Amino acid sequence: MELFVSYAIISSLFWASFSFVAKYILSKKMRNYISFIYLQGIIIIIIFPILSYLIVPDQIFLPPLEVAPYAIISGGTSILAYLLMYYGLTKYDASSASPIISTQSIFVIPLTYIFLNEYYGLIVILWILIAGLGAIMTSWDENINARQLFSFKNKAFWIFFIAAFLYALGNVAVKPALKIVSNFNFLIWREFAWFGVLLALMPLIFHKRERKRLREDWKDGIVFVILGILIQFFGYILMFYALGISVQITMGLSASNGFFAVIIGFFLSKTSLGILLEKHGSRIYLIRMIGALMILFSIYKLSFVL
């Protein structure tokens, strides 16, 4: 196995692990998801530049002004996706969130058809439908029946699916930006734009209750928030390295984070600590695993079309 393939797979494992760290924070440490994301934002704009400078000091510089729109678009859509994902994690499982969000690649094809009039054929549509069906299967639990599963009453699916769409929109801005600056450089300025959008949203979402929760909970949550941010950072590093070797294979393997999430959820459900986060029977995880494998196989096939 080539090194970049290992890095792509490990990166997916990091992203799957991050969803469970976020779930734990929202379940036990900071129960207000908006307070959590503001604390996360403050720490990110401190840690990301420092770690990047220590690893690649020659790539940390002020970018050309033309990078700014891409950073704002990518950061802005990303912050909306994070808010939606964290809201979903206050109610639903991380082992559902990661697989559904990993379908974000399927949105690239309809977007290219709408804006570029590119049509990839019926077989591609079939893979998209298989990935969508897999995503629906990963949202199954004991409280939802088959009819609800395929309806708008399946709130877990729709929350995380819309988050996946927002992530996909943000990723559209990454490719042109990387023609101007390096991956690491864009990551830094994207995170500053991300935090800037978060500050702009303060009058709308960061009210008295959220400020109070942040003051009360930040000490309990900060260690786990930092842990989550470190997992994010190294997930980005490994993913960027793999993207530099092969975009197609890396994007295809990125869907494996859903596969890892279901495995993590299953094992957590068998422990006294983990049952606080995941508490389903083996049958539910088997169905979710089948769905996650459908997503992984479909996204991997689609990655060679994009």
Every domain of the chain and the residues it spans:
3-303
The predicted-structure confidence for 252-280, as pLDDT tens digits, reads as follows 788 899 999 999 999 999 887 776 788 89
Q: Average pLDDT, stretch 208-213?
A: 94
Contact 74, 196 (CB under 8 A): no
Whether the predicted model's global pTM rises above the 0.85 cut: yes
The predicted-structure confidence for 77-130, as pLDDT tens digits, reads as follows 999 999 999 999 999 999 999 999 999 878 877 766 665 566 667 888 899 999
Mean pLDDT of the chain: 88
Q: Report the pLDDT value the prediction gives residue 113, as an integer from 0 to 100.
A: 65
